[in-house]
C-alpha cells in the first residue's frame, strides 16, 4: 500500500484536522464526535442542511460545507457510515430554528444511522434520500439504487433554496424533485485501496474495466474489456437518458466526475464526448461541471451525471456558493 499515512487508525483525524486548518476561513472541525460545520453561520433563521457518509469520497461531503450548500457534514471512517451521535452533535450545533434537513446517499448503513441520529434530536427534521445511480438495483450495501455524484447537485440546489429562508417542507420537496431529475453512472479502470485493508478492494486485469462500478468499489453491471471513450460515453449516457427520458431541446447540467485517479485531461475529453453526443440528440448542455467531486480514494475512472434543468433547478445551481470545494459568484 503506497499512501501518505502515519498510523492507519489516525488517518481520518489527521486529515480532518488538516482540512480544518486549510479552510479555517470557511469551516470549523469538531472531533469526538467528528463533524465539519460552517464558520460563518447565517444571520437569519434557515433550514439547516446536514449530510455525511463514509470518508474516502472527498471533497464530498465536508468540502461542500459553507454558504449556499451544507451547514454541516458528518464523516465516518473510510467507506463506513457516520455514527448517530455525530448527526446529533452536528444538528445541535447548526440548527437555526427552521428544522434540520438530512441529505443521505442510499446506502443501508448511512440510512440506518441517520435515522437513529434524527430520532435523537429535538429539532423538527426531514430526510432526502439520494439514489441517482442507474447502473444497478440492490447492490452490495444498498436496497434499490445507490447514491453517488448526484448527491452534490442536490446539496448545491437545496442549499441555495435554504438560504432564501424556505420552509423545511419546501426544501424537502425540492430536494426530492432534483433527485428525480438526476441520473449517474460510472466506470472504473482500477480498484481503490481502503487504508485499513491495505490491499485493493478488487482486481482488474490491465485491459479490463468495471462498467457501472459503485463509489466503494461495488460490482457494476459487468466486467469487460476497456473500450474507447466514445463507446463508453455512448453506453453510459444511453443508460442515463433511458432513465431520465428528456424532452426534445431539454436543457441539462452535465457533470463529469473523476474517482480520484484519473487526470483532468481525460475528464475534459469525456465531457467533449458527452456534450457532442447529447447535442446530436437535441439535448442542450447549458450547465457543466468537470472534476473530482465524488471520489473513491485513488480509483482510476469516472462517471457522468445528467440533471434535467427547469427554471428553479437552474436558478439554484447558478446562485452564489462559497465552500472549500465549490465556489462562485462570491
**Alpha-carbon span 5 to 74, nearest angstrom:** 22
CA 155, 127, 236, 258 torsion: positive or negative? Answer: positive
**Alpha-carbon span 270 to 238, nearest angstrom:** 15
User: Does residue 64 contact residue 155 with C-beta atoms inside 8 Å?
Assistant: yes
- 57: annotated active-site residue: yes
**Alpha-carbon span 313 to 319, nearest angstrom:** 10
CB atoms within 10 A of CB 12: 20
Strand pairing report for 182-188 and 222-225: unpaired
Residue for grid cell 441529505:
103
- For the stretch 288-314, what's the b/e string if a residue is b when 16 or more beta carbons lie within 10 angstroms of its beta carbon? ebbbbbbbbbbbbbbbbbbbbbeeebb
User: Does residue 94 contact residue 37 with C-beta atoms inside 8 Å?
Assistant: yes
Contacts of 63 (CB under 8 A, 6+ apart): 293, 323, 324, 325, 326
- 61: annotated active-site residue: no
User: Does residue 38 contact residue 71 with C-beta atoms inside 8 Å?
Assistant: yes
Fill in the DSSP letter of residue 272.
H
Preceding amide of 82 cis, omega within 30: no
**Set 57, 61, 255, 316: catalytic member:** 57
User: Does residue 209 contact residue 301 with C-beta atoms inside 8 Å?
Assistant: yes
**Set 61, 95, 216, 255: catalytic member:** 216
Q: Please identify every residue annotated as catalytic.
A: 57, 216
Amino acid at each position: 500500500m503506497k499512501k501518505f499515512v502515519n498510523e492507519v487508525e489516525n488517518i481520518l483525524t489527521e486529515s480532518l484536522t488538516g482540512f480544518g486548518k486549510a479552510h479555517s476561513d470557511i469551516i470549523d472541525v469538531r472531533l469526538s464526535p467528528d463533524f465539519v460545520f460552517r464558520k460563518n453561520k447565517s444571520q437569519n433563521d434557515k433550514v439547516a442542511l446536514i449530510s455525511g457518509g463514509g470518508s474516502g469520497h472527498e471533497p464530498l461531503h465536508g468540502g461542500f460545507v459553507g454558504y449556499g450548500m451544507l451547514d454541516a457534514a458528518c464523516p465516518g471512517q473510510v467507506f463506513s457510515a457516520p455514527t448517530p451521535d455525530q448527526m446529533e452533535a452536528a444538528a445541535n450545533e447548526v440548527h437555526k430554528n427552521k428544522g434540520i434537513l438530512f441529505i443521505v446517499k442510499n446506502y443501508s448503513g448511512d440510512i440506518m444511522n441517520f435515522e437513529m441520529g434524527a430520532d435523537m434530536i429535538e429539532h423538527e427534521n426531514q430526510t432526502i434520500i439520494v439514489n441517482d445511480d442507474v447502473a444497478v438495483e440492490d447492490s452490495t450495501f444498498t436496497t434499490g439504487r445507490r447514491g453517488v455524484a448526484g448527491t452534490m447537485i442536490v446539496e448545491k440546489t437545496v442549499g441555495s433554496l435554504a438560504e432564501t429562508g424556505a420552509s423545511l417542507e419546501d426544501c424537502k420537496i425540492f430536494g426530492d424533485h432534483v433527485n428525480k431529475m438526476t441520473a449517474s453512472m460510472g466506470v472504473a479502470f482500477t480498484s481503490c485501496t481502503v487504508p485499513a485493508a491495505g490491499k485493493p478492494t478488487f482486481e482488474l486485469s490491465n485491459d479490463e474495466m468495471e462498467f457501472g462500478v459503485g463509489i466503494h468499489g461495488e460490482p457494476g453491471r459487468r466486467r469487460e474489456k476497456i473500450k474507447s471513450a466514445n463507446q463508453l460515453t455512448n453506453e453510459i449516457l444511453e443508460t442515463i437518458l433511458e432513465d431520465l427520458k428528456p424532452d426534445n431541446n431539454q436543457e441539462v447540467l452535465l457533470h463529469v466526475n473523476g474517482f480520484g485517479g484519473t487526470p483532468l485531461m481525460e475528464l475534459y475529453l469525456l465531457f467533449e464526448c458527452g456534450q457532442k453526443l447529447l447535442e446530436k440528440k437535441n439535448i442542450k448542455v447549458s450547465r457543466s461541471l468537470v472534476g473530482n467531486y465524488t471520489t473513491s480514494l485513488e480509483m482510476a475512472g469516472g462517471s457522468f451525471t445528467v440533471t434535467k434543468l427547469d427554471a428553479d433547478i437552474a436558478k439554484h445551481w447558478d446562485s452564489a456558493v462559497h465552500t472549500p470545494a465549490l465556489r462562485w459568484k462570491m
